[in-house]
Structure 1
Amino acid sequence: MEKPCNSSKVIEVTVISAEGLLLNRKKPVKKNACVVVRSDPFNSRSTGMDREGGSYPSWNEKLVMELPVRARFITVEAHSGSKLIGTANIPVSDFAGGYLPENYLSFLSYRLRNANGEKNGIINLSVKVKGEGAKSGCGGGGSCTASCSGRPWTGVPPVDGSKVSDLGIVTGIPVRYRY
């Protein structure tokens, strides 16, 4: 009988800065901006407060956290004091797809959306999936699934449990075409 396996990778998210943060869609943020990064509902890290950056805060803060193997996205929230300014859901495939090697540093910028879904600033960050330090919850004596074996972790498995190679997924490279 196969034992359940709770596997995760360690990610390093560096929250660099934000641009154009507004309160109430009109008023620029003046001070006390911070960012919360969540990999699941029970795992989050936050930056310190930027007390001087206003609506263009800068943190350049590294947050190390676990990313569950079944996670589909991480959530980034910008706050001013206790008020939520904007949120962005970042797909795990943007920084941990099967085509990216471990320890690859991805620089990302995402549009933040307020509670009404309206645009409210941009968040700039970098993400690295650490090659060493994977956390594994496999018990001894039982067999483990591929996600806990010694094979490399290559991103999010398909929902139906089939192998990615069976799905016929192709990674394309855009090329310039002239009429």
Structure 2
Amino acid sequence: MANTHHRRLEVTVISGEDLRINDKPIKNNAFVTVKADSHSSPSLYDSMKPDARGESYPYWDEKLHVDLPAGSRYVVVEVHRRSSSAGDVLVGTAWIPVSDFVGGYAPENYQHFLSYRLRDAKGQRNGIINISVRMVTSSYKGTSSSSSSSVPKFGIPMDREKNSRTVTGVPIWYPNQCKS
């Protein structure tokens, strides 16, 4: 059976800072939705329970899981306020580039701690959202699964034709040994 590759994000929504509606601090019921923005498939999203503490600096510390389709360039984080009279009101949105947490030198399961400025519907600054993002990657071959190691592998490949081993030592130079 051919290998299939599944990419899933684990987004921990930690907290919000200085959240407002019409320049008034939010008193309660703020919640967050997270969705993948993709041109090739519909957006998949996850949402969380409203903050019950009732202040403009909510603390959630809640994990959300979102599938990240190939071709996704952004993850969209939206903060809303649930109101019995007006329904759900958008507080602010952050468009997070996927390149902020995918690629580079970090291992696949590395947890990135990020903070982003929220923008309201008019494009004005409206608080900050603090999150952590971790790419959860699983590879499937047949019916058995194997998970990626979260420890990066370092080394320099040696003669690949004869030996597939890797050199893991680092040469050390002592200046006292080079004196004549």
1-side partners of 2:115 and 2:137: how far apart? 23
TM-superposed CA distance for 1:133, in Å, is: 5.9
The normalised TM-score by structure 1 is 0.68
1-side partners of 2:56 and 2:65: how far apart? 25
Larger RCO of the pair (alpha carbons < 8 Å, separation 6+): 1
- What code does the residue aligned with 2:11 have? V
Equivalent position SS for 1:117: coil
CA contact under 8 A between 2:19 and 2:57: conserved in structure 1? Answer: yes
Matches within 5 A, 1:141-156: none
Q: Does 2:44 correspond to 1:36?
A: no
Closer, same or farther in 2 for the Cα pair 1:46/1:104, shift >3 Å? same
2-side partners of 1:58 and 1:35: how far apart? 11
Can you list the C-alpha shifts for 1:30-75, whole angstroms capped at 9, x where unaligned?
0000000011343000111102141000110001121012100100
2-side partners of 1:125 and 1:53: how far apart? 19
Q: Which has the higher strand share?
A: 2
CA contact under 8 A between 2:5 and 2:139: conserved in structure 1? Answer: no
Match of 1:96 in 2: 102
Match of 1:145 in 2: none
Match of 1:51 in 2: 52
Matches within 5 A, 1:8-27: 8-24=6-22, 26-27=23-24
Tell me which of 103, 109, 116 is aligned to 2:122.
116
Q: After the TM superposition, which of the residue ranges 108-117 and 125-134 deviates more from structure 2?
A: 125-134
Q: Which runs of 5+ in 2 are unaligned?
A: 83-87, 141-180
| CA RMSD between the two structures | 2.1
Match of 2:131 in 1: 125
1-side partners of 2:13 and 2:33: how far apart? 9
Q: Which has the larger radius of gyration?
A: 2
Q: What's the % identity of the aligned pairs?
A: 52
- What code does the residue aligned with 1:12 have? E
2-side partners of 1:42 and 1:75: how far apart? 10
TM-superposed CA distance for 1:115, in Å, is: 0.6
1-side partners of 2:13 and 2:54: how far apart? 14
Can you list the C-alpha shifts for 1:5-26, whole angstroms capped at 9, x where unaligned?
x9640110000000000011x1
The normalised TM-score by structure 2 is 0.67
